[in-house]
Structure 1
Amino acid sequence: MTKGYRKFKISFHLIIFVFAIGLILSSIVGFNEVDRALLYLILGILFALESSFGLYKSLNKKHIY
């Protein structure tokens, strides 16, 4: 894995994590106004878990160049 690809993976997972946090917060704030707020909340939690796992995996990998 090259340095550029590692930076891309980290930035991609950060963008997905920020999107997931925004999705979670917006579904909590507008819980009574949106019909599918629970679906968006679960989807946001799943996105956040996946991206945090990807970040953890990318940041803790030992690279030998």
Structure 2
Amino acid sequence: MAKLEEHVRSIQADGLAWGSSELVPVGYGIKKLQIQCVVGDNKVGTDMLEEQITAFDEYV
């Protein structure tokens, strides 16, 4: 999960600011990575962000 967070935070764009993160328990010992970010709609879209995060298919 630490490597995934490192890769996600490596995404840089004008209008994108990363915030805090935490591992949230889902169940049966499984945890998900939750990261807060601020997205400026005029400069960067959530679709672009989603595409770049899911491109890390080794981790996602």
Q: Shared fold (TM-score greater than 0.5)?
A: no
Tell me which structure has the larger Cα radius of gyration: 1
Higher strand share: 2
Q: TM-score, normalised by structure 2?
A: 0.34
| Bigger relative contact order, structure 1 or 2 (CA pairs below 8 A, ≥6 apart) | 1
Q: TM-score, normalised by structure 1?
A: 0.33
